[in-house]
Amino acid sequence: MSFTIKIDHTVHVDGDTRLLWVPRDVLGMTGVVENRRWRSATARAASEVEVEILTPTEFLDQIAGSPRAARELIQRLSQRLREADDRIDSQTVGSAVNNAFLAAKNPWLQRQFHTPLGIGDLPFVVGRRRVAREGLPPCQPDLKLDDTAPFRLSRNHFIIEKRDGDYYVRDLCSALGTVVNGEPIGHYFRTDDAPLRVGDNEVIAGGVDSPFVFSVFI
């Protein structure tokens, strides 16, 4: 049987709660299964269809007396849970991207980097503003900071990037390296990148005792 049911979301209250039972589906079942108060909506047939209207008690009795109907109900609820889970996952990913930010973690750095900076657009490069007679860096930093000789910060020091759904900090061949959550990375260390965890991360540019200490929140 081919049929279509349209739900009119204008709510009406005109008596006891009812469920609409149609082949292969039940409209209004979640409110009964969860034993919670809910409002009914008007269902209008858009094509010819055979339906059965049940009270909550009749519906539960029918499920209890029919293993096949119970199995179909479980499958339907499982499908709805998967769909809801997929929507939550997609919203969580989008939220993580939109809420990621970089901030100064100590008062010294806060004097030139006052406000947390959103890093939703990746990759994001942090580096030093060049001084007189210095050439251009390989790429223009998204965040340029001042430093004085002997420099702790390189013109292109580190980059925040996303690969295969995960976030990383990669050292850009800086002179003194980068420390990510306590792990040193860079040209003179075991690796040049480190993963970022969900939540707050500490990134130090220019060695463990450098004043360029950042908080990266993912």
In contact, 201 and 215? CB cutoff 8 Å: yes
Q: Which two tokens stand for residue 193?
A: 């990148």
Q: Look at 30-44, 171-185, 200-214 and tell me which has the smallest mean pLDDT.
A: 30-44
Task: Compare 181 and 121 and report the one with higher pLDDT.
Answer: 181
pLDDT in tens, 24-45: 455 555 555 566 555 555 666 6
pLDDT at 23 over 60: no
The Cα angle at residue 6 between residues 75 and 38, in degrees rounded to 5: 65
Q: Are residues 145 and 45 in the same domain?
A: no
Q: Are residues 111 and 207 in the same domain?
A: yes
- Predicted local confidence at residue 203, as pLDDT: 98
Q: Are residues 133 and 192 in the same domain?
A: yes
Q: Are residues 63 and 113 in the same domain?
A: no
Task: Compare 178 and 113 and report the one with higher pLDDT.
Answer: 178
The model carries a pTM of 0.57
Q: Are residues 89 and 151 in the same domain?
A: no
Q: Are residues 75 and 154 in the same domain?
A: no
Task: Print the domain residue range for 44.
Answer: 5-97
Task: Compare 33 and 58 and report the one with higher pLDDT.
Answer: 58
pLDDT at 111 over 70: yes
- The C-alpha atoms of residue 160 and residue 141 are separated, in whole angstroms, by 11
Q: How far, in whole angstroms, is CA 117 from its chain's centroid? A: 18
As for how many domains the chain has, the answer is: 2
Q: Are residues 67 and 112 in the same domain?
A: no
Mean pLDDT of 76-95: 71
